[in-house]
Structure 1
Amino acid sequence: MRTAVVRFADYRLYEQKRVEASNAMMGLLAGAQLASHLLQLTEGSERLLPEVFPRVAHIGRFNLTTEEARSILNAADTHLGAMSVPYSLALHEDYLKTCLDLLARGGCCTTAQAERAKARLALQHRGIEAATGGAFQLDGLAQIDTLRLMRNCMIHDGGRASAALVSTVQSWTTTTESAWRKLAHSTLRHLQVGDPVRFGHAELILSLAVTKSLARQANVLLQSALPRSLWADLVLADLRETDPGFAGDGRQLLRKLRGMARFNYGPIKLEEADLSAAITRE
């Protein structure tokens, strides 16, 4: 089974966004702790932060004493997790929509089937499996379903556990629970309907890890399912996008295509005939 990814244009864009989001989230978490540490220097002061740090932008909106501010900053991971996990899932959902569009374009499913699967994250992985004949790892699917339902509880149920979330957690296998514990350092087995659903640093790390893994798995499933002609067309479109000023002749174009196909699309093993046919179709 193939394991290397094809770095097609939309996958590279997803990876870029995922890394940027991860860095920003970790930066905010670290920043909150750094700020809390810095405020130790003013411990005991009754002056408000805008008086102590008048040049800090927007400090007026944080019009608190040192003690009050540090209490909030020390608990920031809960609030940042509640904001960051949905963001991580949204990036993944957008990438899966791209995968489904490619599968429809490659004739692996109908446009209507792709559109139905694109409607909700809950349907997207199953839609890709149906179109490719492949399968995602079950533990990863269980983890992302759990995170999705946790997100839904936060948005639709006032942050309280729904029956759907509790049922999903109770259906975990031992390997799913072990995988969750490995990253989150806790379990959700104790959840009852109506219990508070909490996010934090651990859930953020877990969401980044599981979406990265499932995105790579989707990439591998596409490799065997999409026709070589479509992969060749994607290489050509990629080149046109990344080097819009290229004005070489057909032989130079083919040479550049061979280089791009080898560097970013290596697992497909496109041949010169595939790339020449793409030029002809353009």
Structure 2
Amino acid sequence: MKTVRFAEYRQYEQIRTRANNAVMGLLAGAGMAAHLLQLTEGSDRLLSEIFPNVPHIRRLDMKSVSARAILTSGDVHLGAMTVPYVLGIHEDFIKTCLGMLQRAGHTLSKPDVRYIKAWTQHEEIERATGGNFSPVELQQFHILRLMRNCSIHAGGLVDADLAKHLASWDVTSEASWVARAGRSPRSVQLGDQVEFGHGEIVASLACTKALAREANVLLQPALSREAWADLVVEDAVGELPGVLKEPPPQRQRRIKGFARFHYLPLTLTETEISDAIMRAI
């Protein structure tokens, strides 16, 4: 699966990587802090007395034994915050893909892609491109999306939509989920507490990464070569300021090199790039 590294895809990868590093850093930090607090076990002093120079320590002004309990279970709370964050980043990228399809002349269900809801975004791309996302990845995405909805709109309890979706879960999708998250949510019942943790964070990062790559691949034949060539030139102009004002041979060489580096799977010809440059001038 070879991806085209167009500007918005590069930006998505950067944002996703920063989010991944930040979340894993917070998880590791909570673990290290909990381990460090073992050294103060049995102390009656408050954290603000033991660590007076730590910013905002008074907002967690309790004894170390209580603080350790919070830090040890920190992945539950961080998961409840992280999964919606990761899904939000992904959904924004998928809207970008829908906008690219619309710009290329594909008719979508709504004229403004901002109003295409998360539960139909991927299916909308499938209809426009004639391709398909991995059913396993798509099913995992919808499970995570419904878990997020329960967390935000149903007081953190399993609602009818999530329970129904889990009941129809196929064996392959569940096995893939367990391989990533280490546990399956299939056994939860209507009204149970929706639980997030390190496993659900990993599952959300993994399935959105896979779906973003699949969206990239589906876009490639769905946009005309002329449309891609125009995007290459637009992208190059943004990354190589003043390139269109350079002498034609140098301009052609630099934009061709840019296309080879970021858009290699498209194998755009010199003529296609040259024509796009002329359209942009």
Structure 1-normalised TM-score?
Answer: 0.96
Structure-1 residue corresponding to 2:219: 222
Summarize deviations over 1:119-161 as a string: whole Å, max 9, x none. Answer: 3211100110011000001011110000000000000000000
Q: Describe the SS at the equivalent of 1:234.
A: helix
Q: Which amino acid aligns with 2:83?
A: V
Residue type at the aligned position of 2:59: R
Amino acid at match of 2:212: A
**Is the 1:99–1:222 contact (alpha carbons within 8 Å) kept by the matching residues of 2?**
yes
Contiguous gaps of at least 5 residues in structure 2? none
Shift of the 16–116 alpha-carbon distance from structure 1 to 2, 3 Å rule, reads closer
Distance, in Å, in 1 between the alignment partners of 2:87 and 2:105 is 27
Q: In structure 2, which of residues 207, 212, 219 is the aligned counterpart of residue 210 of structure 1?
A: 207
CA separation of 1:118/1:260 partners in 2, compared to 1, >3 Å: closer, same or farther?
farther
Does the aligned pair in 2 maintain the 1:122–1:145 contact within 8 Å? yes
Q: State the alpha-carbon separation in 1 of the partners of residues 111 and 147 from structure 2.
A: 25
- What is the aligned partner in structure 1 of residue 246 from structure 2? 248
2:34 aligned with 1:32, yes or no?
A: no
Q: Distance in 2 between matches of 1:117 and 1:103?
A: 14
1:117 positional shift: 7.6
One-letter amino acid of the counterpart of residue 61, structure 2: N
Q: Residue 98 of structure 2 contacts residue 113 of structure 2 at CA under 8 Å; is this kept in 1? A: no
Unaligned 5+ segments in structure 1 are none
CA distance in 1, matches of 2:217, 2:113: 22
Q: 1:192 to 1:226 in 2, by over 3 A?
A: same
Residue equivalent to 1:18: 16
Aligned partner of 1:121 among 101, 118, 139: 118
Task: State the shift of 1:108 in Å.
Answer: 2.2
Aligned to 2:164: 167
Name the counterpart of 1:193: 190
Partner of 1:183: 180
Aligned to 2:46: 48
Counterpart of 1:83 in structure 2 is: 81
Deviations 1:210-264 (A, max 9, x none): 0000000000000010011111111111111112143411221111111011111
Pick closer, same or farther for the CA change 1:157–1:8 going to 2, 3 Å. same
- Name the SS for the 2:112 alignment partner: helix
Query: Residue in 2 aligned with 1:63?
Result: 61
1:101 equivalent in structure 2? 99
Runs of 4+ in 1 over 6 A off after TM superposition: none
C-alpha displacement of 1:22: 0.2
Distance in 2, Cα, partners of 1:244 & 1:251:
17
Indicate conservation of the 8 Å contact 1:100/1:118, yes or no.
Answer: no
In 2, Cα distance between the equivalents of 1:168 and 1:142? Answer: 9
Shift of residue 114, structure 1, vs aligned partner: 5.6
Q: May I ask how many residue pairs the two structures share in their alignment? A: 279
Residues 134, 268 of structure 1: alpha-carbon distance in 2 compared, 3 angstrom cutoff: same
Alpha-carbon distance in structure 2 between the residues aligned to 1:167 and 1:109: 31
Name 2:140's counterpart in structure 1. 143
Distance 1:22 1:235, change over 3 A: same
Q: 1:56 to 1:117 in 2, by over 3 A?
A: closer
Superposition deviation, residue 193 in structure 1 = 0.8
Q: Indicate if the aligned counterparts of 1:232 and 1:275 stay in contact, CA closer than 8 A.
A: yes
1:109 to partner: Cα distance:
2.3
Please point out which of 122, 128, 131 is paired with 2:128: 131
Matches of 2:114 and 2:147, distance apart in 1: 21
Deviation at 1:78, TM superposition (A): 0.1
User: Percent identity, aligned pairs only?
Assistant: 51
SS for the counterpart of 1:192 is coil
User: Normalising to structure 2: TM-score of the pair?
Assistant: 0.97
Question: Aligned partner of 1:36: which letter?
Answer: A
